[in-house]
Amino acid sequence: MLHIRHLLSVLLIAGLLPAQVAASLPDAVDGEPLPSLAPMLERTTPAVVNIATSGRVQLRENPLLDDPFFRRFFDLPDRPRERRTQSLGSGVIVDAEEGLILTNHHVINRADQITVTLADGREFAATLVGSDPETDVAVIRIDGDDLNALPLADSDALRVGDFVVAIGNPFGLGQTVTSGIVSALGRSGLRIGGYEDFIQTDASINPGNSGGALVNLRGELVGINTAILSPAGGNIGIGFAIPSNMAMAIMEQLVEHGDVSRGQLGVSVQDLTPALAEAFGLDTRSGVVITQVAPDSPAEKAGLRTGDVVLRVDGRPVRHATELRNRIGLLRVGETVELEIRRNGRTVSVRATVDAPETARIDGSGLTPRLAGAWFGRTELQTPQGRQQRLQVEDVEPGSAAARAGLRPGDIILSVNRQNVHTVEEFRRAAGDQRELLLHIQRGTGAMFLLLR
């Protein structure tokens, strides 16, 4: 009997059984129902929506045409040329009463119109509640009745090997379901956003799945599908999702304030390697080393020092520098955090109140007249030694001294006159009153030197 049953299974899989035989297979074998995800999906798929957006983007022109003289000379219109854009994605209803939908920032970025289509075919015009490019999370709202919301799971409880199901709208085909397992947790370094703590799965996630749901076998939301890793743009069994806990933490701030107010400690950190652990005389191989403490920062006020090894944040272990950055970055300004650190062979608990990062723009002419017309801001740069604070060019006025020197928005200052600089004060000291200014900058994935005279 077992042999015949096995043969029937093989023939069915191979497609060799006629349709009437396949249709007559029993719903149960030996009194046990055949396993199926259908009952769970019948409850969850109504909460996953399709999102269509349209917007406008400016077409890039020759940089010479930015000069008003050339535009007048060639009688060109002052209004830049534009083209319409369209995109498709997915979203997840998480609050049926308020009509709140979680999706990705890149799904609705630059959208003038957002149209949401439910699984039952109803369409709604959506409004943007808020969006956070740093985590690639966005929240939109629709006004509708009889909406279905997905229940939430604790994504921190996920384990590698747990079964998961991805629901979305790949390639605009309509709602599609794929299944797999959790392949890895805490993935980062994908350069999708500033805060990365992805769930990796082999459930197929293709273009259009972005913003869709990753659910467990109970139909609870564990993640928001966001990206694939593929040289050709198709699925090769490596997909990534934002953990539901992170997405909901961001959503709370977006709903309340319209944006995200992140806290900061004012430290630079790097991973604790086995060699560093041995050098510090530690019996642990898990933790994060503080490499720099900013003056007058929350970290300095709390008593943190260079060389401290952070082991836990609010009772939860930290293994990587990215994990520490995510934990702090998801806290609100004014919240208190407890750090368990290792210092000189002793374990110490430190409490710090996170503060808002300095976001004020810096006028380049205040650093040196050679940089007049450039505006700088603070950013973080990933280096082999961990994430470090740097100065970044935010804007350059056409025709200014900075523009003539070759600076462009997005350039990151690595060194000035061959001295590494991280802060405005270090920039001023390195520049001094020298006649020439040698800047080492990072531009995109490359680097170059600029000599300003």
Q: Give the model's pLDDT for residue 232.
A: 55
pLDDT tens digits for range 341-400: 888 878 889 998 887 765 456 777 777 777 888 888 777 776 666 667 788 888 888 878
Residue 234's pLDDT band (cuts 50, 70, 90): low
Return the pLDDT at 28.
Answer: 62
In the block, residue with structure tokens 């209004």: 79
Which token pair is 333? 């300004």
Q: Of 166, 173, 232, nearest to 201 (Cα)?
A: 166
Q: What pLDDT band is residue 7 in, cutting at 50, 70 and 90?
A: very low
pLDDT at 432 (0 to 100): 74
Token readout for 52 is 């269509």
Residue 444: C-alpha distances to residues 228, 229, 231, 374 (Å): 22, 20, 19, 18
Amino acid at 224: I
Using one digit for the tens of pLDDT, what is the confidence trace for 285-341? 778 888 888 777 888 888 888 888 898 888 888 888 878 887 887 777 788 889 998
d(CA 261, CA 258): 10
- CA angle 298-302-303, nearest 5°? 120
Q: Where in the chain is the domain with CATH 2.40.10.120?
A: 40-260
Q: What is the number of alpha carbons within 13 Å of residue 285 lying toward its C-beta? A: 3
Residues designated catalytic:
106, 136, 210
Average pLDDT on 433-444 reads 82
pLDDT in tens, 17-75: 444 444 455 566 666 677 788 889 999 999 999 998 887 655 545 555 555 555 565 56
Burial of 164 (0-12, 13-18, 19+ CB in 10 A): buried
What percent of the chain clears pLDDT 70, i.e. is strictly above it?
79
Q: What is the pLDDT of residue 151?
A: 93
Beta partners for 292? 268
Q: Are 365 and 372 in contact (CB under 8 A)?
A: yes
Which pair of structure tokens corresponds to residue 87? Answer: 């995109």
Q: How confident is the model at residue 191 (pLDDT cuts 50, 70, 90)?
A: low
**CB burial readout 170-208, b (16+ within 10 A) else e:** beeeebbbbbbebbebebbeeebbbbbbbbbbbbbbbbb
Q: What's the whole-number average pLDDT of the chain?
A: 79
Residue range(s) occupied by CATH 2.30.42.10 in the chain: 267-353, 362-452
Does residue 230 register a pLDDT over 70?
no
Phi-psi domain of 56 (left: phi exceeds 0; alpha: psi -120 through 50; beta: other): beta
Q: Which of 4-18, 239-253, 274-288, 436-450 has the lowest mean pLDDT?
A: 4-18
Q: What Å distances lie between residue 176 and 100, 167, 186, 212, 296, CA to CA?
A: 22, 6, 26, 10, 52
Residue range 267-353 forms a domain whose CATH class is mainly beta
- Taking residues 180-209, what's their average pLDDT? 79
More confident residue, 28 or 245: 245
Q: What is the CATH number of domain 40-260?
A: 2.40.10.120
Output the CA angle 179-184-185, nearest 5 degrees.
110
Please give the Cα distance from 393 to 410 (Å, whole number). 5
pLDDT of residue 3 exceeding 70, the answer is no
- Termini Cα distance of the chain: 89
**pLDDT, tens digit, for every residue of 67-120?**
555 556 556 555 555 566 667 889 999 999 999 999 998 888 878 889 999 988
Handedness of CA 60, 65, 67, 68 (dihedral sign): negative
CATH code of the domain made up of 362-452: 2.30.42.10
Confidence (pLDDT) at 4? 38
